[in-house]
Amino acid sequence: MKNITRRTIVTFFLAAILLAGTGFFVGKLFLNGDSWVSLSANTHIYSGGVLKSGTVMDRDGEVLAASNQGNWTFNDNVTTRRALLHTVGTPRGVISTGAITKFAGKLAGYNLITGAKHLGTAGNNLYLTVDADICRTAYKALGNYKGTVGVYNYKTGEIVCLVSTPTFDPSNPPSIQEDDPNYEGVYVNRFLSSKFIPGSTFKLVTLYAALEEIPDIQNRTFHCDGSVQIGDQIITCTGVHGDLTLEQALNVSCNCAFGQIAEMIGGKKLAKYTQATGLTNNYSVNGITTRASSFNFDSKDSGDIAWAGVGQGKDLVNPCAMMVYMGAIANGGKTAVPQIISKVTLPGGLKTSIYLNKKTEPLITEEAAGIVAQYMKSNVVNNYGESRFPGLDIYGKTGTAQVDSAEVSNSWFAGFIRNENAPYAFVVYAEGGGSGVSTAAAIANTVLQSAVANAPQE
């Protein structure tokens, strides 16, 4: 009798393990089926390492790339092909974050119910959120600069513009030598997968920390003699700014003022607020993981903390995360998580899945977001000039980031516009572009004019 009881217990125990294992597998299948089916060893959907079927389109249905039994053809227009290279990818997968690689399962026609059964036919239509028109404009506006432009809707999460340069024509790929400076980092999507010294755009994070941690900060005044000693270091400024309010210090992007503010806040709290803004997050853009920004606020030398607070030193920021923080300021704290897939349909037009718009955690308090936004508007009105952005209700911050090894600095402009049909946050980064206001802000204006003109009308 004792033996039977023991066997029963053992059997129950084994059954429980089996059940748990099955549940685990089904769960995994649900979450990862898409990427398992797209493993390049799956001959249902690949032939000679090339995806057999599927069509990639922009949000308006303009065909960007399509496969017919593994023969991939791209959009007729060379500018479109170059502008969208990093978003669309290539048949051989040299751009690891490209749609052809990353969404192979969706393109091939995989779904949970029928699995890979009817794969290898026409494949699915993958509609991206990007607008080819805006991307072409951004690519042309970047000119010869290496860099990136990202624009997204902070209400819905749709990325309407994503361009990374240098680029090439996927219809006619050049043979690229590894050390060719013209193609430095050509296979990397600079928007999603890189991080760069942010320069003064980071002052929008230091400003947030200051508003929260130093109660009377808005009533204090600061003084700039062109440089100031903090800790063991001399913090240099771009000018001799004299006496400044906090708002004026942001308008002229005074390093002396913001270095002193960073010192007052301290490394530990700066680290805490930087994390709160989401800059150090790895976002998942429909399953594409972005690169996290990185910082070092641990130094014992307050001079290092001052440099970190003005966006120099060891600060490295991912452009996508910066754009999301801009969305959070625009939206009063929470913002939409960026998305690149609009919808997937069967060849007949039937939708196969829905993409719900997701919100981030609050990346800034509502009150601070209001003040930061007001100061970003004041930057435009009092410093950059509204005439640079005709017709746009724009809020922004420039950055001119110095890199020790380079003679010319890198140009940034990040911010957002208020517009009912086009609630867009943006980031522009141009390597070697010099002043943020003359290069990156000009590119931003060109792109945003196109984004507003192309916005869906309600």
x/- binding map, residues 305-344, to Zn ion, per CB under 5 A?
----------------------------------------
Stretch that binds Zn ion, among 165-173, 181-189, 252-260, 382-390 (CB under 5 A): 252-260
> For residues 102 and 397, which CB has a smaller minimum distance to Zn ion in the complex?
397
Least separation, in Å, of the C-beta of 413 and Zn ion? 20
Residues 6+ apart with CB under 8 A from 291: 192, 193, 194, 195, 282, 318
> For residues 237 and 308, which CB has a smaller minimum distance to Zn ion in the complex?
237
Residue 230 interacts with Zn ion (CB under 5 A): yes or no: no
> For residues 104 and 224, which CB has a smaller minimum distance to Zn ion in the complex?
224
Distance of CA 413 to the CA centre of its chain: 14
Residues 6+ apart with CB under 8 A from 88: 56, 64, 65, 74, 98, 99, 100, 128, 170
- How many residues appear in the chain? 458
Contact predicate 125/348, CB 8 Å: no
> For residues 162 and 262, which CB has a smaller minimum distance to Zn ion in the complex?
262
> For residues 48 and 239, which CB has a smaller minimum distance to Zn ion in the complex?
239
Least separation, in Å, of the C-beta of 406 and Zn ion? 23
d(CA 93, CA 187): 10
For residue 278, the SS3 value is coil
Least separation, in Å, of the C-beta of 412 and Zn ion? 18
Least separation, in Å, of the C-beta of 261 and Zn ion? 12
> For residues 200 and 410, which CB has a smaller minimum distance to Zn ion in the complex?
200
> For residues 88 and 244, which CB has a smaller minimum distance to Zn ion in the complex?
244
**Token duo for residue 330:** 């625009």
Least separation, in Å, of the C-beta of 131 and Zn ion? 40
d(CA 202, CA 209): 11
> For residues 100 and 256, which CB has a smaller minimum distance to Zn ion in the complex?
256
* Closest to 135 measured CA to CA, from 199, 214, 82: 82
Least separation, in Å, of the C-beta of 416 and Zn ion? 26
User: What are the Cα distances from residue 384, in Å, to 208, 320, 355, 419, 440?
Assistant: 21, 23, 38, 20, 12
Residue 235 interacts with Zn ion (CB under 5 A): yes or no: no
d(CA 210, CA 426): 24
Residue 262 interacts with Zn ion (CB under 5 A): yes or no: no
Stretch that binds Zn ion, among 70-78, 130-138, 248-256, 349-357 (CB under 5 A): 248-256
Cis amide linkage into residue 166, ω under 30° from 0: yes
Bridge partners of residue 159, in order along the sequence: 152
Contact predicate 151/424, CB 8 Å: yes
Residue 99 interacts with Zn ion (CB under 5 A): yes or no: no
Residue 254 interacts with Zn ion (CB under 5 A): yes or no: yes
Residues 6+ apart with CB under 8 A from 319: 148, 150, 190, 191, 194, 196, 427, 429
Stretch that binds Zn ion, among 41-49, 220-228, 260-268, 357-365 (CB under 5 A): 220-228
Least separation, in Å, of the C-beta of 202 and Zn ion? 16
Least separation, in Å, of the C-beta of 310 and Zn ion? 10
d(CA 175, CA 178): 10
* Closest to 319 measured CA to CA, from 355, 283, 288, 368: 283
Least separation, in Å, of the C-beta of 222 and Zn ion? 8
Q: Which of 59, 241, 291, 397 binds Zn ion (CB under 5 A)?
A: 241
Q: Which of 204, 237, 246, 336 binds Zn ion (CB under 5 A)?
A: 237
∠ CA 140-141-145, nearest 5°, is: 95
**Token duo for residue 285:** 């853009």
> For residues 84 and 254, which CB has a smaller minimum distance to Zn ion in the complex?
254
The count of chain residues that interact with Zn ion, using the rule CB under 5 A, is 5
Least separation, in Å, of the C-beta of 264 and Zn ion? 16
Q: Which of 138, 256, 276, 448 binds Zn ion (CB under 5 A)?
A: 256
Least separation, in Å, of the C-beta of 271 and Zn ion? 25
Q: Which of 224, 246, 264, 326 binds Zn ion (CB under 5 A)?
A: 224
Residue 85 interacts with Zn ion (CB under 5 A): yes or no: no
Stretch that binds Zn ion, among 21-29, 232-240, 378-386, 389-397 (CB under 5 A): 232-240
* Closest to 234 measured CA to CA, from 225, 242, 243: 225
Least separation, in Å, of the C-beta of 203 and Zn ion? 12
Give the dihedral sign, CA 195/197/203/205: positive
> For residues 117 and 223, which CB has a smaller minimum distance to Zn ion in the complex?
223
Residues that bind Zn ion (CB under 5 A): 224, 237, 241, 254, 256
